[in-house]
Structures are given as structure tokens and as C-alpha cells.
Structure 1
């Protein structure tokens, strides 16, 4: 470094005049992170016509240095400009810098206070025209002088020997460790997003380069660009495709559609884009910085952050959006200053802000529609690579259904899930729903017969319809087999009677195939519990023990009202006791129905036993005939757990034998079943977040309701 500069003689001591409340409100408390503080100092370097500003990030040793090669300041200029809070640069020095004609970023003259949120000691050195000067400010001493209502004079200090002939150096020490606790990598990313200066070439005389520890910030620090899946350029494409390697498709919005006010020449430029997943907007190395953010720039630096929250548009789309948009009309010299002190927000009721919000809302809604159409195509490609059976299923759809099938699979693949392992269950539910709709659509095709279709046109439709219904029926049968196998397991485990109880009441078709869809009635249960002094239908543990039962419940199906009592598997019963109990159930249920004036086609009382009841003398009758006659007057039935299992197995034996001859659709569903995780008994597979606005999806349990042909 050249040493042809002389210490400047200072006739009057430096003076820093400011109220303590100003220091705290506009300095210490206004800036919450190091990047925001450094942004103010980088902006000062820009205004000083610097080509480079270098930040030495030596937090480990308690020091941060910011040095630029700009025009520098004399001792007088340091006193009049730097040490004057609310110095109006644009009023005093014009609207652009003298050398590079850069529009001044500074306007309020308070950015210099930001350093006191990061450091307790600030040293400032500057050199210009062969002279140099320096001073030190101690925040502790400054506070003392302000409280004592005495003028504060920063202490003049010698300028280091390695100080260049031109430029400014600021050294921050005695750091606020909380605010300085950001990594160098995170700092690079934050500054790269906040200054639109990466477009300068290395040979440009007006270039502006930001360095950290001597290493220039470049597009390589723009992780947000690398994560983009789709991008919209405003007016023209400015970002080289090499810096957006994962973009699948880009759009250029014409300049005519980016104009905010044509009469005043107000327009917006820049870009915005979407990522593949909301989690891509979270930087694992810097979780305090959310990339779900559109930064609004004016004069090359941020003037508004967090504008997405002010826009009323597709919130699902909004969970995937990031971007950087220039709106120069927000900061013009002939209009009011509408930026808040921390440059994080704008005065919302200003006309310029309202017009900007209106334009962005319209633009994002249009982009959201494009995204909603395009994204499922890419997600479909990814899903079919991961799940080949899904691709085979879609390829085998009839021509008129294939596009719809692709769109449905792509839409399911696009959903954000907390657990990716739950996606096969969604695909399965989607395939089944699609097939059911396909059956209905096939039926509608038959209406075209009146328009002259031939038999050759209709036969393929009928064949397709039959295959769909058969496939759906196979799904029902498979679920029935699973229920039967579960019943067999529970019957062999006496200690699982409560689980057995729930299983049977959830699958009443095991008792009688005609009871498919039998429903409970909580009001009827309450009415029955109140009758006969409340003891008859009491479900207390003591009463259940006394009656030797697992549970008793009311159900109804197709106008028939049922009382179903499950006895313990090992309980020994007498038929006369069952008849006596059944009479009470039947009488009580009839009484409730009459009081309600509720029509019915019958009352059934069903006992499910593990052991046959003791019957006494049979005469000429068989045991089964005797039991049937004894409960006939109450439409009663006595069933046995083992008998239920045997009958159910017999009923579906044919399917067991032909299970390997399943249809192509059933094979698809089976392959998805193999990928669906077993329930863990913990939290549900899906939950809502986002969040974070993010909207994640709860995974449904696929269900089918269809009738056997």
C-alpha cells in the first residue's frame, strides 16, 4: 500500500450529537441480524463510488472489518456527514454519485446507527486527497455522555499504516455475539440476495464487487436460484440458465404485462420462481433466513421484504415461491420516502405500494394457474419412475382417459406430505376413485347408442366396464379376507377380547352378510341405558363381568333393529338365562321404539358365544332346533365365534382359490399395498404445517363401497 498520505490536522474535536433514544430506536433495537447491519455499510460503499467492498468476518476473534475503495472522506466530511444523524445525502450531494453516476441508495442518513446493534466499539478510518483521519466511538461512553447531557466527542485515533490512499475502513469490535452468530456461508447467501450487483462483469469500470474475506460473492452463493424448478422472468430474461440448473420450464412475462402505470412509466423487473417442495425454501445452514420471500429492490438494494403476506392469491402456490423484483418507482427523488427505517417494509397506503400489490397479485394468480397445470406433468414423470406399476396402469387406460389419469397421478404426486412413505396409500385411493368414475363414464357412453353406434363400438365399453367392477370387487374381497384372518387371530387370543369386540362391531357382515353398513345410534344407546333403572344395558365393567360379556351394542340396518351381545369366549351359559335376558332386551327396545313412534320391520336379539349353552332335555329335537325354538319369539339368534370364522372362510373360499388370477388393476393395487407402512399407533401419517402456510396433507385410508354383481 502507498504511504503518500499525511495525518490531517484537526482544529476542532469531532462531535457526535444524538439522543440516546435515537441510538436505541434506530440502531440497537432496529436491526436484528448481522446481514441487515452490513447491508447498510455496503450501501454506503456503493454511494461512495467504490468498485469493491471487502468484509473481514473474524467473529472468532471478536472483530469485523468493512473496507471499501470508494471516494473516502476528509476529517471535515467525516464530522459533517458520517457523524451527523439524518444527514440528507440527496439534498446535500445530489441524486447520483459523481464518478459512476449511481443513484444514491442512502436517503434517511440513519443507516450508520445500525453498527451499534452489532458492536459496542466502532473505529472509522477514511482517506481522501492525500489526507486521512480516524476516530473511535464507544457505545458505553456515548450512553454516559447522553445521560449526563454533555456533548460526546469521539476519540481521534491514528490511522493504520496499511490504510490505502482512498477509501473507508470501519472496524467493529466488542461484538454482540447473538447478532454476530451467523456463519460466513450464511452471510454470503444473505448479501447475495439483497444486492442486485452480480450482473457486473469483472472488466466493467463501474463494477461493484462485495467480498467476504477477500472472496467475491457470485452467483454460486445464490442457493435460491439452484433450487428453482420453474421461473418467471419479468420483461426479459436476465439470469443465465447456467445459474438455474434445475429449472424445468421458464416463462417470460411481456413488458406490457409488467407495467404498473403506463402514463408514469412505472414498471417492475426481475424474476420470481417456485421450488419443488416447501422444504427447499428452508436453508438448513441458516434457518433464520427464509427463502419463502419476494425481496423488492429499488436502487439495487432491498426496500421491502415479506411482501407475500400482503398479497391475496393462491396460498398453496405461495408456499413454493421465492424471488427478487425491482420496482424503481418506489424510491424516486421527487416523491415521498415511503421506506420504513429498517428498509423491511413500505408505507402500505401509498399509491405506489397499492399499485405494486395489485400488479403482483394479478401476476402471481396467473403464474399460479400455469404452475398448477405444469407441475403435475413433472411430478407424474418422477412418480412413474419411482412407481413403475403406476406408469403401466396409466398407459393401459383408454385413449379418452389417459390424460385425466396422468393429471390425477401428477396431482397426487405434487401434494406435500410429512411422510413420503404415505404416498402409495394416496395413489391407491386415487386409482380406485378413478376406476369408479370410469365405470360411471362408461355407462354414459351407452347413451350414444341412440346416435347410431354399432355393436363393435359398444362391446369394448362393456368389456372395460366389467373389468373395472371385477377389480373393485376383488378389492372388497381382499379386505374381507383380511377381516376374517384378523378374526381367527383374535379368537385364539383370549386376552384380546376388547380388540375382538371392536373388530366384530366394525365388521358386522361377519355375523350376517345382509348387515353390511349397519349403523349405531348414540341417542338410542342412551335411551336404552335409562330404561329398567339403567341396569339392563349398563356397560360398566362390573355388569359386564356379572353377565360374562365383552360388550352389548345397538345397531340398525334396512329398518331392522338389533341388540348384539358378545359373551366371553370361555363363558358357560344356560339357554334359559339367554332367553330371559333376550326377553328383557326385546321388550326394552320395543318400548323405546313405540315411545319414539318409530316404524320398524323387526327386532333382532343376537348372542355371540364361545361355548354352546346348556339346554337340558331335548326330546325329539336337535340341539340347534331346540335353541332356535327357544329364541324364535324374540327373533333371536345364537351364533358362535368358531362358526362365524368357518362360515366366513367358506363364503370366500372361491376367492382364496383364485387369488392368483387377479386382474391387472388388482396387481397394481397389490404392488401399492406392499409399499404402505403398517399403522404405528402414534400420530397420523399426515398433518398440517406450514407451512408455515405450508399446507401438508393428511393421508386418507382408502375405502370402497360396491355391490356384488
Structure 2
């Protein structure tokens, strides 16, 4: 038997499918936990440093699975890209579990957060330990022989321990956040599969969802094709925190395959989306060994497949339906809360039948607005109590019929919105002037470096509506200019205008501005990928940002299949293409919607003025009583 371990791999594979796809800790640890599941482990112990990370820090993932022999390490573990299910002709483990692993790439994820991985495994009374080092792999030129540290008999039980060493991160690990992320990426926890983080078991309760309402899901997406969806969708009592992540995840075989999403839904009561979370189990998306419907990093479904489109269409309808039900449930419950208030209860009981119906109509309108502050609702309630005894107010309420009219009544109460709208219009008029200026720059194919650079610096929301303030990271843009000077052989129409670097939250955004008429081809996409990899090195060393995203801003892309494929690959590793025309259209659409909203609010003001007249009548009525 060969006493060497041999791994054949191109460094570009590790770069593109390991380092670049897995730069965050939680997905890496989850890939290794999934390996333990596939090894029929009943227990997995994850050890993560709880203090500042230094050169001696290690992350350890240990399980009590079946382990590997020396031969299995060579034939299976060190074979990159091996389709386990297809090669072995079965998709279940010896213990009967559905195999999660598919592409044989999960092990590479470790290099996204560590430079060295030590694997120690026991099977059939023998212990084998070896080390994978990213720098040695780079120098191996495709044929790497990991050093064997141990190959000896042992009485220890079977199992595997993976130790991540020489960690790239410098920031301390948020243990509670990590626990929450692991819990949300699996549905198999507790099913004879226990995962412990620093000796404390992770359960589904660690997802941290305190649901107000929950809808159980068990439906056929297409009964004829036997595509079944199970799981749940729920809503919290308050909007989901940004660090929690609103939306619904999709899992297959017990593990996440699509990050939180709303599947492009836009129907129903959209305010409900801010409260909504959920888990949909769609095993059929990962059951066919010959058809891979999930992205390489196992974080998103390939959306152009028939199966995905069918799921997304079903999900959009379901989300819209649930949002309507959520709105109705919230309104009815809040209405009951209003009626139970001490100030309301004694007053309501004294009302006649007709007055109760009128009060119910107003209370239901108030309760139907989920974002209405309690103090404002209290103000409206007191207004109703003070006014309902007067004929003019009763007549006003009686004129409202049905849900639409209830909303109109609420608009009368919310006259203050019109004042806010006036200020909004002032801002919008300024922004429309900005859009017109941008149109001129694009039309004239702006060439001067300061022109577009300064424009985006002053108006960053043109690049991304979230960027209201420009946080210039000149250090990184200067590094890019020095490292990647543009040659004289680049045609004038395709030349670069400038590099920009924008900090937003924990993300560094690298932007290359091309001429407005420039078209990107394979060469441009390769260049942007080099920029991204270059900057990621500095970001990891400094620890200021947890993520880096690259943007190529240009006039379009070369209309070739190979270029479109290159763009799709680039998107998966954090590279996005923005067309000047798209920026302009998006800005127009967004701000036109706000202008239309203002016009609507101006109409409300007319109605609000009617209320003022009605209040005057009420005052007259009071003075005459």
C-alpha cells in the first residue's frame, strides 16, 4: 500500500471555490459540520476562541463519526470535486442518512478562514493525522503531498478532528451570533445529531426567533411532479433586526441551500415582509445526482432552472397570502387590545348599538396600521372618545363604508404626514436635478477623471440608494491605482476613468469607473477579479472590514456567450456590473415613485382640511350644549 498522501488540485480551484466563496466563519464551520453528518456522527464538538484571535488561536471541529482509513483519505477525502453520490451510486450513508455533501468542495472552504488545516481521523483501530497548508499547496504546482504526522494503531473510538490553524481573522468571534447562524443553517439538529459550540449544545431554539404568528407549510409545489415543500413561515412581534436577517431560507437534506429571501415577492401587505422569517424544506432540489440546482458555495438556488422558477412562483403567492392574513390577524388583535384599555372599556360599554358600530369602524382602521406608534394611536383613540357624541362626527364616520373608506378615515387622522411630504418634495426636486446632470455626463461620454469621480462622491446614492453619505477609503483606491496602472494599449473608448473605494457598514466597496460608452469583455472581468483578490489581502490583515465587494461601472458588456458566462461567475465571488443606463433608470424609477407618493399626500391634505372644518363644527356643537 502506498504510504504517501497525494492531492491533485489547481490553485485556481482553491482560490475560486474555497478562499473567495468562503470568507465568513459560519458557512465554513457549517460545511465541516455537514461532513460530520455524512460520516454518521451523532455528536459534533466545535471549539472557537472566545478571546482575541492571535497566531496561536485554533478552531476545532471534532466528531464521533466513522472516521477514515489511510486509503479512504487518498481515494475520497483528497479528491477534489468528487461527486460522492454519483460515484458511489447511492445518496444515503451507511446509517441511512441522506448525504448532504455533493461536490467534494466543502473541505476547501476551510482555506477561506485559515492557512493551515490539520486532520486527525481514527477508523478500524488506526489513527492517521496529516496537514494541509495553503502556501505549500501553492508551491506544489498541482501535485501536493500532505505531510503525514501520525499513522499508527490506537484503541481510541472512531471519529475525525479538523483543526483550523493560522487563522486569517484578527477580530474576536461573536459566539452568540455564530451559534445563531449555525442553528439557522440546519434543520437536522437534535435528530440523533447533536452539535456543541464551546461545550454548549446548539438547538433550533438558538435561531432566536420569538414568533408572534406561525404558518406550518406542507404542500405540493406541483402535485404531478411530486415536488413537496415543508417547513414554516412566521412573523415576529416587531420588525426583524438587521443583524438577524429577515426573509425565508430554503434547505435541502437538512442544510441551507438559499440565504434568506422573499423570492421577488411584491404582492400582499408588503409591510409584513419586515416582520417575516421562515424555513422551507425542499429536498427535491438536491435529490437528482445528475442535476445540480444549487450554487457552488451552497448558498443560493440556480434561479434559471425550471424547478427554481416553479418554487419561486409558489413562494411569491404564499408570501403574499400570508402577508394578508398577518395584517388581518394583527388588526383584529390590536383592536381587542384597544377595547380592553381602561380608558376605552368603561366608555365603550355605555355606548348604544349604533355608536358601538361606529367606534368599531374607527378602532379597526387605527388597528390596521402596523407602524402606527402607540402614542399616536392613543391620541386618535382619545379624539374618538371626545368626539363620537357629536352628530357631525357620527355623520363623518357613517359616510365611510368598507375597508377603503376606513383607510380614508385614518388618513384624516394622519394629517401630519403631509407636512413631512413637503420636506420630501424639496429633497426630491434636488435629486431630479442631479439625475438630469448625470444624464448629461453619460450623453457626453465624460472622460475627465474628476468629473464622474466628484459627481459620485457628492451623490453616492446614484450608485446605491443606501449610500446617503460617502465614506471615502482613499487608501484602497490609491493602492489599486499603483498596483494596476492602465497601459497605453487600451483603446480610448474603453479607458478607465478612476478607482473609487467606499466603506458602508462592515463592507468595503471597490468601484472601477469606465467610460460611459465602454463595454466590458473577458479581460475586464479578469482584471476586476484581480483587484478584488488584491484588496481582500489588505482587508484581512487590517480587520477593518468583514467583506469586500467589487463593482465595474461601464456602458455595457460585449455580446458574447463566453462574456455572459464570465459575468455570472464573477457575480458569485462578489463582483457586480453596473451599467450607466441602469443607474439612471433606477434612480428615475425610485424617485418618481416618491414624487407620486407626495402627490397622493397632497390629496390627503384636502381631506384633512375637511376634518378641520368638521372639528370646528364639533367645537360649535360643544359650545352650544
Quickly name the TM-score band, shorter chain normalised.
Answer: 0.5 to 0.7
TM-score, length-scaled by structure 2: 0.59
In structure 2, the partner of 1:222 is: 207
In structure 2, the partner of 1:124 is: 119
In structure 2, the partner of 1:29 is: 20
Distance in 1 of aligned mates of 2:259 and 2:387: 43
Alpha-carbon distance change, 430 to 355 in structure 1, aligned in 2, over 3 angstroms: farther
Q: How large is the Cα RMSD of the aligned pairs?
A: 3.4
Pick one of 234, 243, 248 that aligns with 2:217. Answer: 234
Pick one of 54, 66, 75 that aligns with 1:71. Answer: 66
In structure 1, the partner of 2:395 is: 439
Distance in 1 of aligned mates of 2:400 and 2:60: 76
The alpha carbon displacement at 1:20 in A equals 2.1
SS of the aligned residue for 1:705 comes to helix
Alpha-carbon distance change, 344 to 442 in structure 1, aligned in 2, over 3 angstroms: closer
Alpha-carbon distance change, 177 to 430 in structure 1, aligned in 2, over 3 angstroms: farther
| CA offsets 1:77-110 (integer angstroms, 9 cap, x no match) | 1122222211110122233334321111111111
Pick one of 162, 178, 182 that aligns with 1:170. Answer: 162
Distance in 1 of aligned mates of 2:325 and 2:378: 27
| CA offsets 1:450-484 (integer angstroms, 9 cap, x no match) | xxxxxxxxxxxxxxxxxxxxxxxxx9xxxxxxxxx
Distance in 2 of aligned mates of 1:74 and 1:101: 21
The alpha carbon displacement at 1:360 in A equals 1.7
Pick one of 48, 57, 66 that aligns with 1:57. Answer: 48
Distance in 2 of aligned mates of 1:384 and 1:320: 25
| CA offsets 1:177-227 (integer angstroms, 9 cap, x no match) | 25x743222222221221112453xxxxxx111111232222442321xx1
Contact persistence 1:86–1:109 (CA under 8 A): yes
Distance in 2 of aligned mates of 1:198 and 1:403: 51
Bigger radius of gyration among the two: 1
The alpha carbon displacement at 1:438 in A equals 2.9
In structure 1, the partner of 2:176 is: 185
The alpha carbon displacement at 1:294 in A equals 0.8
| CA offsets 1:566-601 (integer angstroms, 9 cap, x no match) | xxxxxxxxxxxxxxxxxxxxxxxxxxxxxxxxxxxx
Pick one of 166, 176, 198 that aligns with 1:213. Answer: 198
| CA offsets 1:481-519 (integer angstroms, 9 cap, x no match) | xxxxxxxxxxxxxxxxxxxxxxxxxxxxxxxxxxxxxxx
- Counterparts of residues 6-405 of structure 1 (less than 5 Å): 11-58=2-49, 60=51, 62-145=57-140, 149=141, 151-158=143-150, 164-177=156-169, 181-198=172-189, 200=191, 207-224=192-209, 227-235=210-218, 258-278=219-239, 281-282=240-241, 288-290=243-245, 292-314=246-268, 315-333=270-288, 336-383=291-338, 388-400=342-354, 402=356, 405=359
Distance in 2 of aligned mates of 1:87 and 1:132: 24
The alpha carbon displacement at 1:359 in A equals 1.7
| CA offsets 1:360-389 (integer angstroms, 9 cap, x no match) | 22222222222221111222344455x532
The alpha carbon displacement at 1:402 in A equals 3.4
| CA offsets 1:510-540 (integer angstroms, 9 cap, x no match) | xxxxxxxxxxxxxxxxxxxxxxxxxxxxxxx
- Counterparts of residues 633-648 of structure 1 (less than 5 Å): none
| CA offsets 1:329-360 (integer angstroms, 9 cap, x no match) | 11112551110112221111211112212222
Equivalences, count: 408
SS of the aligned residue for 2:612 comes to coil
TM-score, length-scaled by structure 1: 0.52
SS of the aligned residue for 1:76 comes to helix
In structure 1, the partner of 2:457 is: none
The alpha carbon displacement at 1:311 in A equals 2.2
- Counterparts of residues 411-450 of structure 1 (less than 5 Å): 412-413=366-367, 415=369, 417=371, 421-427=375-381, 438-440=394-396
Structure 2 residues without counterparts, runs of 5 or longer:
402-412, 414-600
In structure 2, the partner of 1:705 is: 613
Contact persistence 1:69–1:168 (CA under 8 A): yes
Contact persistence 1:377–1:406 (CA under 8 A): no
Contact persistence 1:376–1:413 (CA under 8 A): yes
